[in-house]
Amino acid sequence: MAGTIGQSRRIVNHRRAYMNQRRCRRRFEIDQRLEIEHSDKMIAFVSSSLSVLVVHSILPLIMVANGYNPGYSNLYGSKPFEISEHVVRLRIEAIKVELGKMQQAYQNMAQPDMTPRDQASYDFIIVGGGTAGAALASRLSDIAASILLIEAGDEETPFMDVPLEAINSEKGNTKEYLSEPTDRYCLSMTNRQCRVKKARVMGGSSVTNWMVATRGHRDDYDEWARMGNTGWSYDEVLPYFQKLEAVNIPNLQVDNAYRNKKGPMHISYAPFQTPLSIAFLRSMEDLGYPRVDYNGRDMVGFSRVQATMLDGSRISSNKAYLYSESRQNLFVSKNSIVKKVLINKKTKEATGVRFTKNEKVFTVYARKEVILCAGAIGSAQLLMLSGVGPTEDLKKLDIDVIQDLPVGYSLQDHVAFIGSTYVVKEPIGILFSDLDNLSYPYSADYYMHRKGPLTIPGGVEAIGFANVDDCYNSQALPNIEYLFFPLTIYNLRETMRDLGVNENLLFAFEDIKRNYTYSILTMLAKPGSRGRLRLKANDINVAPLIDPNYLATQEDIRILTKGVENAITFTKLSLLKQFGAELYQTPLPNCAQYTFNSPTYLHCAINHMTLGMGHYTGTCRMGPEKDYTAVVNPQLQVYGIEKLRVIDGSIMPVIPRGHLTLPTLMIAEKGADMIKEHWGYSVDLHR
What pLDDT score does 48 carry?
29
What pLDDT score does 80 carry?
57
What pLDDT score does 500 carry?
82
What pLDDT score does 81 carry?
63
Q: Does domain 271-315+411-616 have CATH number 3.30.560.10?
A: yes
Residue 14 binned pLDDT confidence (cut-offs 50, 70, 90)? very low
Q: Is 615 a catalytic residue?
A: yes
Q: What share of the chain is helix, strand, coil (3-state, %, to 5)?
A: 35, 20, 45
Question: pLDDT digits over 92-132, tens only?
Answer: 888 888 888 888 888 888 899 999 999 999 999 999 999 99
Question: pLDDT digits over 66-77, tens only?
Answer: 333 334 566 877
Query: How far is residue 501's CA from residue 533's CA, in Å, rounded to a whole number?
Result: 23
Residue 2 binned pLDDT confidence (cut-offs 50, 70, 90)? very low
- Among 145, 150, 120, CA closest to 133: 150
Query: How far is residue 487's CA from residue 517's CA, in Å, rounded to a whole number?
Result: 5
What pLDDT score does 460 carry?
97
What pLDDT score does 33 carry?
30
What pLDDT score does 28 carry?
29
Q: Convert 643-680 to b/e letters by CB count within 10 Å (16 or more is b).
A: bbbbbbbbbbbbbbbbbbbbbbbbbbbbbbbbbbeeee
Query: How far is residue 204's CA from residue 538's CA, in Å, rounded to a whole number?
Result: 24
Question: pLDDT digits over 450-504, tens only?
Answer: 999 999 999 999 999 999 999 888 889 999 999 999 998 777 777 787 788 887 7
**Contacts by 679-686, CB closer than 8 A, 24 or more apart:** 679/145, 679/368, 681/143, 681/144, 681/145, 685/239, 685/240, 685/243, 686/243
What pLDDT score does 46 carry?
30
Rounded to an integer, the average pLDDT of 347-351 is 99
Question: pLDDT digits over 336-346, tens only?
Answer: 999 999 999 99
Flag whether 1 is marked binding.
no
State the DSSP string of 494-552.
HHHHHTTB-HHHHHHTGGGTTS-EEEEEEEESS----BEEE-SSS-TTSPPEEE--TT-
Rounded to an integer, the average pLDDT of 542-547 is 98
What pLDDT score does 171 carry?
57
Residue 196 binned pLDDT confidence (cut-offs 50, 70, 90)? confident
Whether the pLDDT of residue 45 is over 70: the answer is no
What pLDDT score does 73 carry?
61
Q: Give start and end residues of each alpha helix (H) in 334-468.
A: 375-385, 391-396, 432-436, 442-449
**608, 659, 678, 686: which is the annotated catalytic residue?**
659
Query: How far is residue 203's CA from residue 210's CA, in Å, rounded to a whole number?
Result: 14
Rounded to an integer, the average pLDDT of 514-542 is 96
Flag whether 649 is marked binding.
yes
Rounded to an integer, the average pLDDT of 412-434 is 89
Question: pLDDT digits over 258-302, tens only?
Answer: 999 999 999 999 999 999 999 999 999 999 999 999 999 999 999
Question: pLDDT digits over 360-384, tens only?
Answer: 999 999 999 999 999 999 999 999 9
Please name the helix (run of DSSP H) or strand (run of DSSP E) that holds residue 246, with its range, or none. Answer: strand 245-247
Flag whether 460 is marked binding.
no
Flag whether 424 is marked binding.
no
CATH of domain 103-156+214-250+317-408+618-681: 3.50.50.60
pTM: 0.89
Domain borders along the chain are 103-156+214-250+317-408+618-681, 271-315+411-616
Flag whether 247 is marked binding.
no
- Among 209, 205, 111, CA closest to 155: 111
Rounded to an integer, the average pLDDT of 566-592 is 89
**Winning range, highest mean pLDDT, from 52-66, 216-230, 243-257:** 216-230
State the DSSP string of 58-104.
GHHHHHHHHT-------TTS-PPP---HHHHHHHHHHHHHHHHHHHH
Whether the pLDDT of residue 38 is over 70: the answer is no
Q: Is 414 a catalytic residue?
A: no
| Average pLDDT in the chain | 87
**38, 56, 615, 686: which is the annotated catalytic residue?**
615
Whether the pLDDT of residue 60 is over 70: the answer is no
Rounded to an integer, the average pLDDT of 350-361 is 98
What pLDDT score does 62 carry?
31
125 within 8 A of 371, measured Cβ to Cβ: yes
Question: pLDDT digits over 623-679, tens only?
Answer: 999 999 999 999 999 999 999 999 999 999 999 999 999 999 999 999 999 999 999
Residue 172 binned pLDDT confidence (cut-offs 50, 70, 90)? low
What pLDDT score does 541 carry?
96
Whether the pLDDT of residue 238 is over 90: the answer is yes
Amino acid occupying residue 272: F
Flag whether 202 is marked binding.
no
What pLDDT score does 230 carry?
98
Query: How far is residue 452's CA from residue 356's CA, in Å, rounded to a whole number?
Result: 43
How far from 128 is each of 113, 386, 434, CA to CA, in Å? 14, 16, 38
Whether the pLDDT of residue 65 is over 50: the answer is no
265 within 8 A of 244, measured Cβ to Cβ: yes
| Top-confidence residue, 501 or 181 | 181
Flag whether 338 is marked binding.
yes
Half-sphere exposure of 247 (CA within 13 A, CB side): 23
Residue 52 binned pLDDT confidence (cut-offs 50, 70, 90)? very low
Rounded to an integer, the average pLDDT of 563-576 is 89
Count CB atoms within 10 A of the CB of residue 286.
11
What pLDDT score does 59 carry?
30
